[in-house]
Structure 1
């Protein structure tokens, strides 16, 4: 393994002055900013190697100890580095590989993560190149596993920095930033051109959408955003944290992706109806249904997530019956007029805001989750009155968790049929209706005049009616 155009890495195994006194243990950080880079590399390893979801690792209260030890500014930097390193993982790999005469050893994962953290800052973040390189070299020197590769880290990252203006655009055009299995499933489901558009959308920064109780244009003006065709309000970059935005405490709005706001709308007028919202937390759809006048029973198995749902409803001034139960076997004494089942899924429709998903999930996970969804649906339909309607939805792009599962369910059921979604049912819906009368959105949908405001989460929803 030699850097192209450079000498061989040093073989001196002596620990540097930054190394731990315990063999095999990385150094305690000493240089300003080093702790954040060490945390970023550690968490990147947890995502890529251990398949740990990024949100859990960077949770402010329950996240990884190395993350929680940082101040808020460094936590923000770590999160930015990780999101960027995952969003552009294949691009970074290609640019680094071009500077190596042979690949890194398969077991050199720590070295790889240090390089990815450094390259993400150099290529995409507002961090001085020299600082990114120097901290990566210091990090490498301080870890006995990577100390002998410090010169390689220096050479590779300086080469990336030197040539990025010329090399980055070409590499972005040539590389697909997703694992092979994910690309293959998108192409199979949507065709090569549509898959390419979806993958391109995944490179864009995620946006913030709001569901508002009244007057979307008023709130768009306040937030400096736009009203989407479906009625959600979109803001490209928040001027403050969500809790610091105008009228947060008054409960005039809540954060909810535009696509996630569609399934609850498929019931139409729910005023006075009894509606069960299964797998309800954190409660955006519960809030929609309650605000529309439904009597809502919100069911979820997680006590902590239900506590968050109740907090959200309290802030919004809305009410719902809260039930902690497993939706797969919960059986209330009375049936419902309508049931919303927003089922647990692979979340492949949310890659724009969760770029770790393709790197933490697998085809086996999708098959397992599709099986769980089918079991949930088989039980959920038992909660409906004759003539009642159920909306099944999730934020997966994979047909195995959407179209294919619903086709299979309908082929095996004599009591249910599709209640087709019609064009013009509500604003902005027409482009998302499938030939079967279902709903399908992708991150490449909802183009806007300002391209940076385009896109939405990938969602699937089907509305079914019980005949007897």
Structure 2
């Protein structure tokens, strides 16, 4: 008699993606690990490779939605819980956030969102006792959640209070709230193309921005999109593509790109015909930069070094300083930044930015151009850093940015003539196709 075969029950579809999402949320909210660290490279979650492309995309969207709407989620859940979110079982907290995010903002049936969150809790020893609570709260969320959001929709709960206070002080209350609304929307995919932006916009079902960036809502693996494998474009937010424009014509000129990885601006410089020396202190990031350049069939000299300490054999026609910063301008694309950064982080970063600016001045030929930029919305890392350099270096002067250098977008030029993009700039009737990363850039010339 042949041996009996018993069917091995397979895991409930979608549960693995939600389990990994819960782990990564815990990494951000309780262990202060960045999303990038947990999604890519040596520190990536070990189970990611077991997910299908579809489940991996779902997991990423789940985590990003929760972090993007964390303040609102906290408000809604606090109204539905008599005793607050359980603090002795992180998996229960994650399950509530995951379930509520799906019910309120994602195209997931309510019953599936509730069921999978309950299963998530039941699979954790410490959290299992909260299965009934999670079930009841999420069912109430499906009935009452939207109304609770309506009650507070004029409040900017999804930006940490310290950050919202800074934006209000610097940009005004109206603009600060517009910025908070803009970063609440899932952003588009922005691409810098080598040529024929209109053709690539058509092929990728997107549109061409005034600046020449191709913007699309296509999702999934970027490596599978047309044009990736043969190096026709690279991923780069439309705002991040603007600072290199400030150099003007650079064909044949020698440009140093400090803090260059992962290499979007290096690629722009090389594509424009410059001889580029790209410096970054991280071996892994420089390896990634070299890989990107190889795919794009572009050339640059890539060096692993601390830019502040690096010794050059000669001077440069131009130096780009894309300085490390708090990255508060990138929250729409990297929502973990809002909850990982603290105001105190600006002090050491501002000191590093000062050293990088001084180094850049020393690398410049007389008449050479320095472009300084950061993806920060904080004036200490932008306007004030440049003001301090100009006050200490009498040989440096600002060259104001003209609207025709930035596709006529006069609203992104400050009174001093610098570049300042905000998340609420470039509005669109579809919020997912609007907005920019927050960037600051200034152009200085050595006399």
The two structures have a TM-score, normalised by structure 1, of 0.88
Tell me: CA distance 1:169–1:406, structure 2 relative to 1, closer, same or farther (3 Å): same
Alignment of 1:57-456 (within 5 A): 57-59=38-40, 62-104=43-85, 106-174=87-155, 176-238=157-219, 241-456=221-436
Cα displacement string for residues 66-116 of structure 1 (whole angstroms, at most 9, x for unaligned residues) = 444544433222211111111111111111111123323555544322211
**Rounded Cα–Cα distance in structure 1 between residues aligned with 2:429 and 2:52:** 38
Does the 8 Å CA contact 1:60/1:68 hold for their aligned counterparts?
Answer: no
Unaligned runs of 5+ in 2: 1-9
Q: SS of the counterpart of 2:26?
A: helix
Does the 8 Å CA contact 2:53/2:221 hold for their aligned counterparts?
Answer: no
**Rounded Cα–Cα distance in structure 2 between residues aligned with 1:371 and 1:444:** 29
Structure 1 range deviating more: 50-59 or 426-435:
426-435
**Rounded Cα–Cα distance in structure 1 between residues aligned with 2:123 and 2:406:** 59
Does the 8 Å CA contact 1:341/1:380 hold for their aligned counterparts?
Answer: yes
Compute the displacement of 1:450 (Å).
4.3
Compute the displacement of 1:462 (Å).
0.8
Unaligned runs of 5+ in 1: 1-28
Could you tell me which of 436, 443, 447 is aligned with 1:463? 443
Does the 8 Å CA contact 1:421/1:433 hold for their aligned counterparts?
Answer: yes
**Rounded Cα–Cα distance in structure 1 between residues aligned with 2:347 and 2:260:** 22
**Rounded Cα–Cα distance in structure 1 between residues aligned with 2:136 and 2:86:** 17
Compute the displacement of 1:374 (Å).
1.3
Compute the displacement of 1:311 (Å).
2.0
**Rounded Cα–Cα distance in structure 1 between residues aligned with 2:175 and 2:108:** 34
**Rounded Cα–Cα distance in structure 1 between residues aligned with 2:115 and 2:55:** 17
**Rounded Cα–Cα distance in structure 2 between residues aligned with 1:153 and 1:437:** 53
In structure 2, what is the equivalent of residue 4 of structure 1? Answer: none
**Rounded Cα–Cα distance in structure 1 between residues aligned with 2:190 and 2:277:** 25
Compute the displacement of 1:429 (Å).
4.0
Q: SS of the counterpart of 1:266?
A: helix
Compute the displacement of 1:247 (Å).
2.7
In structure 1, what is the equivalent of residue 7 of structure 2? Answer: none
Compute the displacement of 1:174 (Å).
4.1
**Rounded Cα–Cα distance in structure 1 between residues aligned with 2:133 and 2:402:** 60
Does the 8 Å CA contact 1:345/1:401 hold for their aligned counterparts?
Answer: yes
**Rounded Cα–Cα distance in structure 1 between residues aligned with 2:393 and 2:385:** 12
**Rounded Cα–Cα distance in structure 2 between residues aligned with 1:233 and 1:137:** 41
Tell me: CA distance 1:60–1:425, structure 2 relative to 1, closer, same or farther (3 Å): closer
Does the 8 Å CA contact 1:447/1:455 hold for their aligned counterparts?
Answer: yes
Q: SS of the counterpart of 1:209?
A: strand
Does the 8 Å CA contact 2:87/2:93 hold for their aligned counterparts?
Answer: no
Does the 8 Å CA contact 1:327/1:380 hold for their aligned counterparts?
Answer: no
